Amino acid sequence: MHKGMFLVGLLLVGVMVAIPALLVHHTASPTLVEQGTQSKGGMKKSSLEKNDVLNEPSVTVYLSHEKRRITLPLERYIRGVVAAEMPADFHVEALKAQALAARTYIANRLSKNSFPDMKQWGTKAKGAQVTDTVQHQAFVTDTVLREKWGAKYDALSKRVNEAVASTGGEVIQYNGKPIYAAFFSTSNGYTENSEDYFTEKMPYLRSVASPWDRQSPKYETKKTFSLAELTQRIQKSTGKQIAMATSTGNGIMQVKDRTPGNRIGQLRIGDQLFTGRQVREALGLSSSDFSWKVKGKDITFTTKGYGHGVGMSQWGANLMAQQGKSVQSIIKHYYQGVAIAKGNWK
């Protein structure tokens, strides 16, 4: 009798201990999954879910198509930039380089705390620090990414998230300050000195070889205009009136000089001088490294490279990574004399 009562009591105690333990196990596991990502070393928190960056600021972005502002933590903003600026199936080391360049670009911009170029976007952009356009750097929301990536959303998100998280809070610095981290799609085989396309000479934006870009699908493009359209477009863009010689042919334009990056520095069209950049922008050419052929009343341009050519080549970075180069090697190749360090977000 006493022995039976003892066994019943022991059973009741066991039930009282087991039920809370089961409840704790049932409710705790999903919370861990929601807050982290599975890795070989077990569960770890994602820096995109937690603000792990010391003094992480917020970034206010003006969405140009939706004509509204959104404010989000820095690292989530960087995720949207990387996803917009670089194909998510690029090598992860290239994605890391893009994350560093994107974070450095906004760090440089925030450090100045002055955004006069936002005025052109109107009153709805007031209070924003950056747009989602290539005037600054492209950006997409998660809603857009879900639509764009569809069934690949989870896999591509994981790649982008890894690149952003593994470089969390880091920026590219020169003399302890965030650089102007210019980047573009594809070079013509060389990058450009900053002063040969922009106006300011920056010691870290020097012309370097980028032979990998020849494998880029954007390496060479062609575009055809009528001669009349050529003159009209350049005159409208530059405000210069061009007087053409009666005989044209391929001699309609003459290159006067080239930059160290082998792009056109200056050329003559008719009786006027123009920079390669002026002609590129007037005609919407892929780069300022171009040649041409005149046939009848038409002129066809062949361009090498895609973009302004200053800073990091995105396709070059991807192809370097495919050859085994690390993110540090990529960054220090395209940005000379720099260091990678945690940003000061005070």
Q: Which residues contact 294 (CB under 8 A, 6 or more apart)?
A: 227, 248, 249, 250, 252
What is the separation of C-alpha 187 from the centre of its chain, rounded to a whole number of angstroms? 15
Residue 267 lies in a domain: yes
Say what the pLDDT of residue 249 is: 67
Say what the pLDDT of residue 3 is: 45
Residue 268 lies in a domain: yes
Examine the domain organization and report whether 283 and 322 are in the same domain.
no
pLDDT tens digits, residue range 50-63? 445 557 899 999 99
Examine the domain organization and report whether 267 and 246 are in the same domain.
yes
Residue 165 lies in a domain: yes
Examine the domain organization and report whether 210 and 224 are in the same domain.
no
Examine the domain organization and report whether 134 and 193 are in the same domain.
yes
Cα–Cα distances in Å, from 123 out to 127, 131, 344?
9, 13, 31
Residue 11 lies in a domain: no
Print the domain residue range for 76. Answer: 58-214+309-342
Residue 45 lies in a domain: no
Residue 186 lies in a domain: yes
Examine the domain organization and report whether 171 and 105 are in the same domain.
yes
Examine the domain organization and report whether 195 and 297 are in the same domain.
no
Say what the pLDDT of residue 237 is: 97
- Token readout for 187 is 């070079």
Place of tokens 């005989």: 247
Q: Taking the CB of residue 144, how many other CB atoms lie within 10 A of it? A: 17
Say what the pLDDT of residue 345 is: 72
The predicted model scores a pTM of: 0.82
Q: Which residues contact 326 (CB under 8 A, 6 or more apart)?
A: 93
Average pLDDT per consecutive 10 residues, the chain (346 residues; last block may be shorter): 46 42 33 27 39 75 97 97 97 98 96 93 96 96 96 97 96 96 97 96 98 97 96 96 73 92 96 96 98 94 98 98 98 98 81
Residue 24 lies in a domain: no
Rounded Cα–Cα distance for residues 284 and 209 (Å): 25
For residue 184, the one-letter residue type is: F
Sign of CA dihedral 83, 86, 90, 92: negative
Examine the domain organization and report whether 99 and 130 are in the same domain.
yes
Say what the pLDDT of residue 51 is: 45
- Token readout for 147 is 């639509």
Examine the domain organization and report whether 284 and 241 are in the same domain.
yes
Count: domains in the chain:
2
Examine the domain organization and report whether 196 and 262 are in the same domain.
no
Examine the domain organization and report whether 148 and 272 are in the same domain.
no
Residue 254 lies in a domain: yes
Q: What is the dihedral of CA 60, 63, 66, 68, to 10 degrees?
A: 20
Say what the pLDDT of residue 344 is: 81
Examine the domain organization and report whether 151 and 252 are in the same domain.
no
Examine the domain organization and report whether 195 and 330 are in the same domain.
yes
Q: What is the dihedral of CA 239, 64, 84, 54, to 10 degrees?
A: 110
